[in-house]
Structure 1
Amino acid sequence: MSSGLDIALIQTRTPATAREALAHVEPLIREAASGGAKFVLTPEGTNVLEQRRDRREAAITTEDEDVAVLGLRRLAAELGVWLLIGSAIVRSDQAGDGRAANRSLLIDASGGIVARYDKLHVFDVNLPNGETYRESATVRPGDGAAVADTPWGRLGLTICYDIRFPHLHRQLAKAGASMIAIPAAFTAPTGEAHWETLLRARAIETGAFVLAPAQGGLHEDGRRTWGRSTVVGPWGEIIAKADHDEPCIVRAKLDMEAVARARAAVPSLTHDRDYLPAV
């Protein structure tokens, strides 16, 4: 296992159709690979970002038919890089459920899908500024956590709102994850208030690298996302970040041995105790 890994987070402002989304993200991935990245990660909603229900229904298709997913698989094989599609919004394969899946896809350097993860925690909130979201109305939540092997270590998969559930990240770390992906389309109000704090907390708690590519800016459907794609080290330090919402590439080199050092210094993953529940 190599001790150094060149990665790139792709920050996007994804359009409302898969074809336009592929045209938007592909040049950024090519640029990242030409700069030496071996592992490239994109945000939540890489293939389509559209919350107006009628247009969303017209835009999404199955994973096997999605233009962006198919194009990104071909691109990974062409460039010889591993690629995490942070999430694709695709039709659910659950019979009788008309909702979509919000699905991370880990692609290897041959273009093969080596792991899938459907977002566990859907974003049903009422924000102080009056914004209301009911992701559960259109997205069927997943029912299982996912950790996948890569050439550089194990990768834990999460998506956006999952960041607020520490026990999920702890379980991923205990399953051997040395890196945890948190691709997101964070709202501007919650991003400004909580994004960096939550990212650093999840890294500190798990002693893992946190890799968080994000959507940023004002989208076609009227929503505004926070951006600020960030890489956090296992000691909680910010390794690299964008300080804006514009589409961009955030590059970092990961010293994978830092995971063992952090976990040896504070071995909290081995210190769980059984206890009586609070009443």
Structure 2
Amino acid sequence: MSQVRIAGAAAHFGRDLEWCLARIGKLVGDARHAGAALLVLPDAALGGYLADLRHPDPDALPPALDPDDPVFAKVAALAGEMVVCVGYCEADGDGGRYNAAACLHGDGVLGRHRKVHLPAGETAAYRAGDAFTAFDTPVGRLGMLIDYDKTFPESARSLALGGAQILACLSAWPASITNQAPRMSQDRQSRLFDLYDCARAAENQVVVVSSNQTGAMGGMRFLGQAKVVGPAGNILARTWAKAGLAVAELDVAAEIARARRVLSHLDERRPDAY
């Protein structure tokens, strides 16, 4: 048995990179104090998210970072012995941008992901990625999803088939823009956010660590609702709508083995019938 503590963060991030780094340093420190070996930060933690999802202002986009930007070495240094996943806007070298995430450790970058599924507004600001890749980390084999990626079961399933034991879901997920509810608990996007986290964990029998932004940017209110979900789809820890850390301790491999002991979803698929 090998118990590990993992944490998902709910926090607000804006355009100022130095301010974002300070906020990341505080969250890493809090996670380390809680004994966490893995911390999943929100999407766009380096530079903030779009201020308007329906009509993004091309002159007010997040700062586009090269993959070798010195800021990643700074985050890796903050991470030290921990594994930290962080979202950012990636420059692709020819004027394009991707909504991206990096997984870092004191030794450097362990893995990267470019968001594959873009909602309508994002297509005006970002290009779409084209792959889901699992990779090894000190806390186990891991894969990353960004925001809308987790709406599509194939995204998480691709990572699970690649051996991912933990899915890091980084989000800047707002409350419903078109059907606003008087209370966050009644919000359609709030319900979907939780539903997708639990469904992706249960259907693949893996651990999901879900982060999200809080606060507001432009006309959007972000949901928070960071959580850790077990391979049975059970929420082990959560932040609700407030900023903070959802921290859970578990033996990832043992919990996955227990969930798959009788019914192993990946093994019992029938791809020829789909």
**TM-score, normalisation: structure 2:** 0.87
Residue in 2 aligned with 1:108? 105
Is the CA contact (8 Å cut-off) linking 1:82 and 1:106 kept in structure 2?
Answer: yes
- Structure 1: gaps of 5 or more residues: 125-133
2:151 is aligned with 1:164: yes
Partner of 1:202: 200
1:53 match: secondary structure: coil
Residues 49, 172 of structure 2: 8 Å contact kept = no
SS of the aligned residue for 2:12 comes to coil
State the Cα distance separating 1:147 from its structure 2 match: 0.3
Q: Indicate conservation of the 8 Å contact 1:99/1:137, yes or no.
A: no
| Cα gap change, 1:17 to 1:70, in 2 (>3 Å) | farther
- Give how far 1:18 is off: 1.6
Per the TM alignment, residue 200 of structure 1 is displaced from its structure 2 partner at its CA by 0.8
How far 1:137 sits from its partner (Å)? Answer: 1.3
Give the deviation of 1:92 after TM superposition: 1.8
Which residue matches 2:182?
Answer: none
Q: Which residue in 2 is equivalent to 1:273? A: 270
- Superimposed CA distance per residue, residues 157-177 of structure 1 (whole angstroms, 9 cap, x where no aligned partner): 111100111012112111111
For 2:75, the equivalent position in structure 1 comes to 72
- Aligned-residue Cα RMSD (Å) equals 1.8
Contact kept? 1:66, 1:90, Cα under 8 Å: no
Please give the secondary structure, in 2, of the residue aligned with 1:158: strand
Report what 1:91 is aligned to.
91
Q: Distance in 1 between matches of 2:142 and 2:209?
A: 10
Q: Deviation of residue 193 (structure 1)?
A: 3.0
Change (3 A) 1:224 1:66: farther
Give the letter for the 2:75 counterpart: L
Partner SS for 1:142: coil
Give % identity.
28
1:116 Cα offset (Å): 1.0
* Equivalence for 2:6: 7
Matched with 2:42 is: 43
1:18 aligns with 2:34: no
Aligned counterpart, 1:56:
61
- 1:182–1:210 CA contact under 8 A, matched in 2: yes
Checking the alignment, whether the CA contact within 8 Å between 2:78 and 2:106 is kept in structure 1 is no
Map of 2:183 onto structure 1: none
Partner deviation per Cα, 1:188-214 (whole Å, 9 max, x = no partner): 125323111111111110000011011
Gaps of 5+ in 2: 51-56, 177-187
| Aligned partner letter, 1:272 | R
TM-fit CA distance, 1:65: 2.6
Report the AA paired with residue 203 of structure 1.
Answer: A
**Equivalence for 1:137:** 124
Aligned length: 256
